[in-house]
Structure 1
Amino acid sequence: MKYLGSSFILFSFMGLATQQAFAADDWFSSDAFTVTGNVTLATDYRFRGLSQTSNNPSVQGGLTLAHKSGFYVNLWASNVDLGLDGNSIEADYFLGYQWKIDEKSTLDFQYIDVNYPGVSDKTLHPDFGEFAAIYSRSGNIKEGDNITLSGYYSPEYAMKSGNEMYLNAAFSYPIYKSINLIGAVGYTKLDSVEKFQQAYGYGDKDHYMDYKVGFKTNIKGVDTELSWIDTDVKNGPKTTDGTVYFSIGKSF
């Protein structure tokens, strides 16, 4: 009996080890990963309503490596014109996990690292990192519609301006075939007027709002967007003014 008991324990451990090996093989198998990318040409690069290219066109591209477990890594870049000597590119990376709540809902948790390589004045510190939670639900009123609620927090925002919070609500609603009505409203908040001015170089408040309304469509795999983007910033530079935004992109 002692021999049989020892054998049972041995085979149990062997079985558990084999299952773990299979699980590890499954985790790192090529079928567990997907790679996707996108490239976009746009009349502007608007980040939270503000132009990052001095109201000039932008070229953007991204690459995502995703695991079937929900974890993913994303690399993204765009040309920028922020008046920073030596810099003309923004290069970011995202680390995230997407939890599929049900067939209609997902919840993403992200860390985003925003970088402006080449800045000659090292005392400016334009780079920053932030954390995000993004809830998305489809099929709320009509099949194909979508709402997204997101919150972002940076403990040390651009130019070492301290705490920054951004909240956003967005929707997409199909109106005709592949044409979708889109809209969004966002709210940015820093600790004080002084911190806001430190981050942006202007402003008489510690917060502002941004808006978007327009149309989006996908025709034969090509994504296009035509929208109006604006903010409630008063007496700011031209980069805060409202603009007609158009983009065309391709995912692969």
Structure 2
Amino acid sequence: MRFSTLALGSIAFLAASPAIAQDETAPPKPITVTGGVTLVTDYRFRGATQTNEGPAVQGTVNVNHASGLYAGTFLSSIDGGADGSTPALTNYGGVEVDLYGGFTKTLPSGLGFDVGLLYYWYADGAKSVNTDFFEPYASVNYTLGPANVKVGANYAWGGQSGLDFTTGKDDSLYIYGELGVGIPSTPVTLKGHLGRSDGSLGLLNPGADDSYTDWSITAEAVGGPFKAGVSYVDTDISNGAVPGIGHFAQRLGRGSTVLGYIGFSF
């Protein structure tokens, strides 16, 4: 339903990556622009489909400063029509635009961190529906050889109109952990992700339960500016049937899936 963890991790990586010099003696540029385009068979945000299990086209553009400051945008097609085919995005329109800015740094020890602020904007959403909100985020990661471990959290404070789903407290917290390991002598990296949603953005379980867990396993190959991957994605959203709604995991989250993606970066 919102900015994917996979996309956020890619942005942090791009923001932290130095520009490739024109030659070995040229000094690094103080400002670089990076980005990419990805085609994915199903856009999943924290385990839940944003495209009614259909494909999505996504893009990123990032402006990175040598100091570690960065800003940019992530765009994705979504299925947020009035017919409710993707229930959590009904009347959100057909495009998600995420604007972000932050600061990232990797220390010589291999320890890195990233802090920033996201703004979720649904540019062609129905005027009668409040959709947009801010979400600060922070993460730390540690790289040792071919392995990288990352833990982070995203928090959206209550009182924002785009989070006003109930009469109660509408703040939202997402915490997650990730592990990536490169397979030696190959272009393949294996990645594991485990996340927990609590609050207004966790309202995908029946019985007014406002929390759920998602997890994924990904194998990704990178060659030059190209990448390709396959992921298994699942959640613990209850699949119990509710009259008028149906089975929650299939109706709201669409249950487990295997998705693929291909992309190009610059």
> Is residue 168 of structure 1 aligned with residue 176 of structure 2?
yes
Change beyond 3 A, Cα 1:180–1:73: same
Indicate the SS of the match to 2:215. strand
Counterpart position of 2:111: 105
Larger Rg computed on CA atoms:
1
- Say if 2:261 is the partner of 1:247: yes
> Residue 180 of structure 1: which of 184, 189, 194 is its match?
189
Among residues 132, 135, 138, which one is paired with 1:133 in the alignment?
Answer: 138
Deviation at 1:71, TM superposition (A): 0.6
Per-residue deviation, 1:160: 1.7
3-state SS, counterpart of residue 69 of structure 1: coil
Structure 2: how far apart are the matches of 1:100 and 1:181? 21
Task: Say which structure is richer in helix.
Answer: 1
User: In structure 2, what residue type is equivalent to 1:76?
Assistant: F
- Can you list the C-alpha shifts for 1:177-208, whole angstroms capped at 9, x where unaligned? 111111100000017xxx854xx5x6321200
Mean Cα deviation higher: 48-57 or 217-226:
217-226
Identity %, equivalent residues: 27
Deviation at 1:86, TM superposition (A): 6.6
Match runs of 1:41-80 below 5 Å:
41-80=39-78
Deviations 1:16-60 (A, max 9, x none): xxxxxxxxxxxxxx9310100111001011111111111100100
- Give me the whole-angstrom Cα distance separating, in 1, the residues matched to 2:171 and 2:65: 32
Match of 1:19 in 2: none
> 2:152 matched to which residue of 1?
150
Q: Name the aligned partner's letter for residue 149 of structure 1.
A: V
* Residue in 1 that maps onto 2:20: none
Instruction: Give the drift of 1:237.
Output: 4.7
| 1:133 alignment partner AA | A
Distance (Å, rounded) in 2 between the aligned partners of 1:166 and 1:203: 19
How many angstroms apart in 2 are the aligned matches of 1:216 and 1:169?
18
- State the match for 1:227 in structure 2: 231
Which runs of no fewer than 5 residues in structure 1 stay unpaired? 1-29
- Aligned match of 2:206: 203
Q: What does the per-residue CA deviation read over 1:182-236, in whole Å, with 9 as the maximum and x for residues that have no partner?
A: 1100000017xxx854xx5x63212000000131111243111111001000131
Cα-to-partner distance string for 1:81-110 (whole Å, 9 max, x where unaligned) = 134337100001111011333341211111
- TM-score (normalizing by structure 1): 0.79
Using the TM superposition, name which of 160-169 and 216-225 deviates more. Answer: 216-225
Q: Normalized against structure 2, the TM-score is what?
A: 0.75
Aligned to 2:19: none
Please give the alpha-carbon distance, in whole angstroms, between the structure 2 residues aligned to 1:75 and 1:44: 20
CA deviations on 1:146-205 (whole Å, 9 max, x unpaired) are: 1111101000364424110000101111224111111100000017xxx854xx5x6321
| Paired AA for residue 210 in structure 1 | D
Q: CA RMSD in A?
A: 2.0
Aligned 8 A contact 1:126 1:160 in 2: no
Q: Write the distance in 2 (CA, Å) between the matches of 1:98 and 1:38.
A: 19
Q: Secondary structure at the match of 2:130?
A: coil
Q: 1:224 to 1:103 in 2, by over 3 A?
A: farther
Query: Structure 2 regions of 5+ residues with no counterpart?
Result: 1-27, 85-89, 240-247
